């Protein structure tokens, strides 16, 4: 059962931590491809210089200003799609980037899309989107409805099992935002 909208309508840092251990599922032609979310990054809207919404609302980031529990999928570096989940109340454009999952089901389909060893199938935000065939067509997708893409409860992650570090690939951001410990991952 997909997570309820109220799960996403909370402080972004809390949602980013709480997504760890949840199951991300993509249904394609009746087959379910899924994995445990193992790494996330929080983006705190207009007060976070690393967030796409820092400079205000645009056509590209408009989904982030909408209701929580929707997917924000964007194309980056002219090569890759990345999956984010909109958090907090409508009008407060925050979100969580899904950085990595540990595959659970649909590995053969993931291997077909990625053509990489299993440990490299979904260990990055672009890699997991490629493995699960998540494209811009999912931008604005309501994750609380289920059907083709959703998140559900799977396993609890103890607070002591969560590692917090600075986010990756945001050299353009202000120093305070580059140094914020807003990347969360399950200790291996």
The model's pLDDT over 142-173, given as tens digits with 9 standing for 90+, comes to 999 989 999 999 999 999 999 999 999 999 99
pLDDT value of residue 78: 75
Residue 13, pLDDT above cutoff 90: yes
The helix/strand/coil state of 64 is: helix
Largest CA distance in the chain: 46
Output the domain CATH number for residue 139: 3.10.300.10
Tell me the torsion sign for CA atoms 112, 114, 116, 117. Answer: negative
Residue 108, pLDDT above cutoff 80: yes
- Total domain count, the chain: 1
DSSP code of residue 136: G
Q: Structure tokens of 114? A: 């990625």
Tens of pLDDT, residues 28-79: 999 999 999 999 999 999 999 999 999 999 999 999 999 999 999 999 877 8
Structure-token match 């809390």, residue found:
14
Residue 81 has phi, psi (to 5 degrees) of -100, 145
Residues of the chain with pLDDT > 70: what percent?
A: 100
Question: In residues, how long is the chain?
Answer: 188
Residue 188, pLDDT above cutoff 90: no
Is the pTM higher than 0.75? Answer: yes
Domain residues for the domain of 23 are 5-186
Confidence tier at 176 by pLDDT (50, 70, 90)? very high
């Amino acid at each position: 059962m997909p997570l309820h909208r109220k799960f996403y309508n909370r402080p972004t840092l809390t949602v980013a931590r709480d997504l760890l251990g949840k199951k991300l599922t993509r249904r394609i032609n009746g087959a379910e491809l899924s994995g445990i979310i193992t790494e996330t990054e929080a983006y705190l809207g207009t007060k976070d210089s690393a967030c796409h919404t820092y400079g205000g609302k645009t056509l590209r980031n408009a989904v982030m200003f909408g209701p929580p529990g929707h997917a924000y999928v964007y194309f980056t570096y002219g090569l890759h799609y990345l999956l984010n989940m909109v958090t907090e109340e409508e009008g407060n454009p925050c979100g969580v980037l899904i950085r990595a999952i540990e595959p659970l089901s649909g590995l053969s389909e993931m291997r077909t899309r990625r053509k990489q060893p299993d440990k490299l199938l979904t260990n990055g935000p672009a890699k997991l989107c490629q493995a699960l065939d998540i494209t811009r067509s999912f931008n604005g997708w309501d994750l609380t409805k289920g059907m083709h893409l959703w998140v559900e409860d799977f396993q609890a992650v103890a607070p002591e099992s969560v590692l917090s570090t600075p986010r990756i690939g945001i050299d353009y951001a202000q120093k305070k935002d580059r140094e914020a410990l807003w990347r969360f991952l399950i200790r291996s």
